[in-house]
Amino acid sequence: MTDDKRSPENIDPDLLEVAREIFDCARRGEANTLAAVIEKGAPPNLRNEKGDSLVMLAAYHGHADAVRVLLERGADPDLRNDNGQTPIAGAAFKGFKDVVETLLAHGADVEGASPDGRTALMIAAMFNRTEMVELLLAHGADPNARNANGVSPADAASRMGAPDTAALLAKKAGA
């Protein structure tokens, strides 16, 4: 046995199976089921062995209704996984505008950065997601932010070959 309480070998097998099913419900976006299990006592910030919360899984898989249900029941919109990634960054990466809007409406930090300083804006820019970049900018994302290596969102977009977001951000950063 390890000292990590989240390590599967430290959890009752029946409880582990229930937890896995709850995580699968988040991945599938089963909002009603998630609401029911939280109302019966499951913690809204339940995390798996990688530190992914229910919100993180629902956000990454594009399920805005499930994200909303979890947030309305006390889940933290900014809870990071073990890699320091946020739900908003995952949704921005995948291009799920409705999920990002839901997270922002429930208090997610538009500037929440990973340990290396990458923000959701940088991630959206890198993958040429212009609508996502515009949404994040409209909610206060800083086009002049820099990651740990001094790279701005426009720089990140240029390096990844994302011309539309690079041009948009260069214009915003110079404004």
What average pLDDT does the segment 110-137 reach?
A: 96
Residue 155: how many other CB atoms lie within 10 Å: 20
Q: Domain 7-109 in CATH: superfamily?
A: Ankyrin repeat-containing domain (1.25.40.20)
Tokens 């805005």 -> residue: 64
Question: Residue 82: pLDDT band by 50, 70, 90 thresholds?
Answer: very high
The CA–CA distances, whole Å, from 30 to 33, 57, 164, 172 equal: 6, 12, 35, 38
**Local confidence band at 34 (pLDDT 50, 70, 90 cut-offs):** very high
Question: What pLDDT does residue 2 have?
Answer: 46
Could you give the percent of the chain with pLDDT greater than 70? 93
Half-sphere exposure of 148 (CA within 13 A, CB side): 6
For the chain, the average pLDDT equals 92
The arithmetic mean of pLDDT across residues 55-64, rounded, is 98
Banded model confidence at residue 1, pLDDT cuts 50, 70, 90 = very low
Is residue 93 scored above 80 in pLDDT? yes
Cβ(65)–Cβ(98) below 8 Å: no
| pLDDT above 50: residue 8 | yes
For 115-174, the fitting CATH number among 3.30.420.40, 3.40.630.30, 1.10.579.10, 1.25.40.20 is 1.25.40.20
What average pLDDT score do residues 131-150 get? Answer: 96
Fold match flag (7-109 vs 115-174): yes
pLDDT at 18 over 80: yes
Is 60 exceeded by the pLDDT of residue 72? Answer: yes
What is the Cα–Cα distance from 150 to 118, expressed in whole angstroms?
10
Boundaries of every domain in the chain: 7-109, 115-174
